[in-house]
Structure 1
Amino acid sequence: MCPGNFAYGMWKFIKKLVFTLIILSILGVVAGRFINPPITLTQIGGIVEYGKLQRDYISYGEMGNNVKKAVIAAEDQKFFVHNGFDYDAIQKAYEKNNQGKKLRGGSTISQQTAKNVFLWQGRSWIRKGLEAVFTFMIEKTWGKEVILERYLNSIEMGQGVFGIEAAAEYYFGKSSKNLTKSEAAWIAAILPNPKKYDPKNPSSYLKRKHNWIMRQMNNVVLK
């Protein structure tokens, strides 16, 4: 086979591969409007690292308002008004990064949902670019309620623990709908680093964050 034919064949293969991935991505987003993901790459990582997958998918209505308010207060207070991206938070994160300060990302709940459901963990530009594409698609097709439900069902909330229902059972021995305001705030306080922090044995930093979330929850209005 001459080099020209080989290059042409590779180009055709790449085009077919890209087209197939685009179609699968669209189908995945459409399916995600109606069902929770069977499993995610992050959950597979939890199985590999901790030898377990503790999760229990529940509906939006079964989650309880305290949990929703706590997570929105902690992670994305503009959730119901932005289009998937909080440009002010992104700008602040960019400026802090340029100043050499510890980066506390500007990711919204929508962006985190796109990452958790469809992609992998990490900070590469490729992943961030794909995250932006999936964020745009789920904002257009899912709506805020579905996005928040998928987020609260898929997010890592402990070592091998995923989703708010499993976290409520793991930390407090109860269903998420029965969590008190304080208990919901404790779970939200461990985000975005649930492998490091433990609400059962909180550090002084976690206690301050918990108190801050409790105050911020008073400002959250669910749609």
Structure 2
Amino acid sequence: MSWTSALGLAWTFTWRFAAGLAAVCLLFLVVYRFLPVKGTTLMGVRSLQGQEVSAEWVPLSDISPHLVRAVIASEDNKFCRHKGFDLGELKAAYKEARAGGRVRGASTISQQTAKNAFLWPGRGPVRKVAEAGFTLPMEVLYSKRRIMELYLNVAEWGDGIFGAESAAQKRFGKPAKDLTRREAALLATVLPSPNKWRVDPPGPYVRRRSGTVMARMRTVEAEGFDACVFR
């Protein structure tokens, strides 16, 4: 076989593999538009680490509106106004890193949903590109309400606990639909580091931060920053 033929075969294989992978990804996107996500890569990782995984899917109607407002207030107050990416926040994070400041995340709820539901944990350019590749079509195919429903059902709350229902039951002994404003703020506060920060009992940082989140929740409701979820 000539060198040219070998290159041609390699290119054909790469193209077909990429096309096949894209088709599989699109299939998952379509399926999860309608059906619950019963398992994620991170759930599998936690199970392999020896943790007992607790995950119970519930519709968004069975999750307290306080928790919806809390995660918008804490994680992404432009959730209803962006198309998957908060460009202003990305620019601010980049400038801060260039100036020698801390490297902070600028992921939206949509990006986090794409990562949690479809991809693997960790960082790196490949994962970030894949995250963007899922976020863009997800914003086209899904309503914001559906994205929020996915997010709250696959988010990790530490100790092998995934989803709002399991978190509410394990942390507060009640269903997610009965979470109070304060309980919702506490759960939203620990989301960035659920295996480090606790809500039972909350430490000084979590107590202070949850108070800030509660104040922002009032703004979210008053300004209609949650309108795309509840309309």
In structure 2, distance between residues paired with 1:100 and 1:195? 27
Count of residue pairs the alignment pairs up: 223
Q: What is the match of residue 81 of structure 2?
A: 81
Q: CA 1:49 to 1:99, structure 2 compared with 1: closer, same or farther past 3 Å?
A: farther
Which stretches in structure 1 are left out of the alignment for 5+ residues?
A: none
Note the alpha carbon deviations across 1:156-186, whole angstroms, 9 max, x for none: 1112111111100111011011011101111
Whether contact under 8 Å (2:51, 2:159) holds in the other structure is no
When structure 1 is superposed on structure 2, of 79-88 and 36-45 the one drifting more is 36-45
Paired letter, 2:171: Y
Which stretches in structure 2 are left out of the alignment for 5+ residues?
A: none
Partner secondary structure for residue 158 of structure 1: coil
Note the alpha carbon deviations across 1:39-69, whole angstroms, 9 max, x for none: 1111111112243211100001111211111
Whether contact under 8 Å (1:110, 1:135) holds in the other structure is yes
Q: What is the match of residue 8 of structure 1?
A: 8
Paired letter, 1:57: W
The within-5 A match list for 1:147-158 is 147-158=147-158
In structure 1, distance between residues paired with 2:5 and 2:155? 47
In structure 1, distance between residues paired with 2:7 and 2:95? 43
Please tell me whether residue 204 in structure 1 is matched to residue 204 in structure 2. Answer: yes
Cα deviation for residue 36 of structure 1 reads: 2.2
Note the alpha carbon deviations across 1:101-159, whole angstroms, 9 max, x for none: 22221100001001111111222111111111211111100010000000000011112
When structure 1 is superposed on structure 2, of 3-12 and 22-31 the one drifting more is 3-12
Paired letter, 1:109: I
In structure 2, distance between residues paired with 1:206 and 1:22? 41
Whether contact under 8 Å (1:50, 1:160) holds in the other structure is no
Paired letter, 2:21: L
Q: What is the match of residue 134 of structure 2?
A: 134
Cα deviation for residue 38 of structure 1 reads: 2.8
Q: What is the match of residue 107 of structure 2?
A: 107
CA RMSD of aligned residues (A): 1.4
Paired letter, 1:117: A
Q: What is the match of residue 29 of structure 1?
A: 29
Paired letter, 2:122: G
In structure 1, distance between residues paired with 2:101 and 2:151? 28
Whether contact under 8 Å (1:50, 1:159) holds in the other structure is no
Q: What is the match of residue 169 of structure 1?
A: 169
TM-score where L is the length of structure 2: 0.92
Paired letter, 1:175: P
Whether contact under 8 Å (2:38, 2:57) holds in the other structure is no
Cα deviation for residue 85 of structure 1 reads: 0.8
Q: What is the match of residue 47 of structure 2?
A: 47
TM-score where L is the length of structure 1: 0.95
In structure 2, distance between residues paired with 1:11 and 1:85? 32
Whether contact under 8 Å (1:165, 1:175) holds in the other structure is yes
Partner secondary structure for residue 39 of structure 2: coil
Cα deviation for residue 14 of structure 1 reads: 1.3
Paired letter, 1:136: L
In structure 2, distance between residues paired with 1:189 and 1:213? 7
When structure 1 is superposed on structure 2, of 197-206 and 93-102 the one drifting more is 93-102
In structure 2, distance between residues paired with 1:156 and 1:20? 30
